[in-house]
């Protein structure tokens, strides 16, 4: 316990070393938010006169090339062979259509980066027919898609609620932590084995949110307090990495005691210091353990951005990138939730999500959002470089996961 407390204290110090966005940025720092403008601060006088400086551009480019990982180089090669339509498709993480033929045809037409499966996809299928289905989806895709499910355990069990997959549904994170991290580890291994056997490759878990109040919306999905959440997340991600199944930390920057954003807007009035001293730490632990996807919530977190939900906020994404040092894939929570649909049009929400810095757009209306992003590209609102920035992250993640070849 003492070691965990010391670790948490160190993590707290690390996430407070950087600043980003309104009210949280140190005076002598320049931050460029994804999709945003530079915030002017001090001037680097050493860069004022470069007339007589030697040209080291070739040397710099060579060094940068040498530093690229095999995964990055493989991702760049794959992207270089993609059309703009295929690149736009990779940005989408869509709820799979309930109709089989539509699911296959949409995969062929839009080439989405991934599909998310819900309980209805599992209910009337056997493990064998489910595997046949996922194989067909992969066959329809030019680039292997992320095939994901929310199998958190407890109240969120898309697969194990059905007896043909497991005799009993998986326990909740809170129940598992009552039995210690060894129980969490064995449970995670079993989840990964089940998910892999069905042809899926990503579990949209763990919940990294902290909650100790039974009245909180997120309480029954959370592992508990700061120490419990951090231990749970670290163990879950570590075991998932070993098993070769993807995981996703949610719901950044931390859900707190906010209302359910499935049904409307939630406004978080806590201070930035509270997030840095508490909510960020399980996320940082998961990132350090090797998690390659972070899901951002729809809460309006006023200390970082009073105007936009976190999922559509460039400021919140800047915090995740700059303060937590995260360079992996960022996905929105489902843009079909009322917290988004009540305030933004379907297509506009997708465009705002890309402008904010998301790599994947989690959605339920792929054709509408795809066309909106494509139109934004064609009009010049979203640049090719912005699209390719995210596509490269997604492809690199897939290569790292072993879904795409690194040769």
pLDDT along the chain (407 residues), means of 10: 50 53 38 36 35 47 68 98 99 98 99 99 98 99 99 98 98 98 99 99 98 93 98 99 99 83 79 97 99 96 96 98 98 90 90 98 96 99 99 99 92
Residue 311's nearest CA partner among 280, 276, 336, 287 is: 336
The predicted structure's pLDDT at residue 107? 99
Q: Please state, in angstroms and rounded to a whole number, the distance separating the CA atoms of residues 237 and 248.
A: 9
Distances (CA, A) of 240 to 174, 189, 195: 18, 7, 11
Q: Which fold has domain 84-400?
A: TIM Barrel (3.20.20)
Contact 21, 318 (CB under 8 A): yes
What region, left, alpha or beta, does residue 116 occupy, with left being phi > 0 and alpha being psi -120 to 50 degrees?
beta
Contacts of 126 (CB under 8 A, 6+ apart): 164
pLDDT at 341: 82
- CB of 344 within 8 A of CB of 75? no
Phi (first) and psi of residue 148, to 5 degrees: -120, 160
Cα distances (Å, whole numbers) of residue 390 to 69, 106, 329 = 17, 21, 8
Domain limits, the chain:
84-400
The pLDDT assigned to 12 comes to: 52
User: Going by C-beta distance under 8 Å and a sequence separation of 6 or more, which residues neighbour residue 321?
Assistant: 20, 34, 327, 357
**Maximum Cα interatomic distance, the chain, rounded to a whole number of Å:** 74
pLDDT for the residue numbered 4: 56
Burial of 116 (0-12, 13-18, 19+ CB in 10 A): buried
């Amino acid at each position: 316990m003492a070691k965990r407390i010391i670790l948490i204290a160190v993590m707290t110090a690390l996430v407070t070393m950087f600043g980003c966005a309104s009210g949280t940025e140190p005076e002598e720092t320049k931050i460029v938010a994804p999709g945003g403008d530079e915030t002017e601060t001090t001037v680097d006088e050493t860069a004022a006169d470069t007339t007589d400086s030697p040209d080291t551009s070739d040397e710099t480019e060579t060094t940068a090339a040498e530093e690229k990982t095999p995964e990055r180089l493989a991702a760049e090669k794959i992207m270089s062979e993609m059309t703009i339509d295929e690149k736009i498709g990779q940005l989408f993480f869509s709820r799979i259509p309930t109709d089989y033929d539509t699911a296959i045809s949409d995969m062929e037409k839009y080439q989405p980066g991934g599909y998310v499966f819900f309980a209805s996809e599992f209910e009337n299928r056997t493990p064998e027919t489910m595997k046949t289905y996922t194989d067909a989806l992969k066959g329809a895709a030019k680039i292997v898609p992320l095939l994901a499910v929310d199998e958190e355990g407890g109240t969120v069990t898309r697969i194990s609620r059905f007896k043909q997959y497991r005799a009993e549904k998986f326990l909740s994170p809170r129940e598992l932590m009552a039995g210690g991290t060894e129980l969490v580890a064995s449970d995670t291994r079993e989840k990964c084995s089940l998910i892999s056997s069905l042809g899926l490759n990503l579990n949209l878990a763990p919940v990294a949110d902290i909650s100790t109040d039974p009245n909180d919306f997120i309480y029954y999905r959370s592992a508990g307090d700061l120490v419990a959440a951090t231990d749970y997340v670290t163990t879950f991600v570590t075991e998932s990495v070993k098993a070769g199944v993807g995981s996703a930390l949610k719901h950044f920057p931390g859900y707190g005691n906010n209302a359910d954003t499935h049904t409307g807007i939630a406004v978080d009035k806590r201070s930035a210091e509270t997030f840095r001293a508490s909510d960020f730490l399980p996320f940082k632990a998961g990132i350090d353990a090797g998690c390659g996807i972070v899901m951002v919530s729809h809460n309006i977190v006023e200390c970082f951005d009073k105007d936009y939900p976190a999922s559509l906020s460039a400021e919140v994404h800047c915090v995740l990138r700059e303060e937590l040092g995260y360079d992996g894939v960022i996905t929105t929570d489902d843009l079909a939730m009322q917290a988004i649909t009540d305030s933004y049009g379907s297509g506009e929400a997708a465009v705002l999500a890309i402008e904010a810095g998301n790599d994947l757009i989690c959605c339920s209306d792929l054709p509408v959002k795809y066309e909106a992003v494509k139109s934004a590209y064609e009009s010049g609102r979203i640049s090719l470089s912005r699209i390719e920035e995210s596509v490269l992250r997604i492809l690199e993640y897939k290569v790292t996961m072993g879904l795409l070849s690194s040769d």
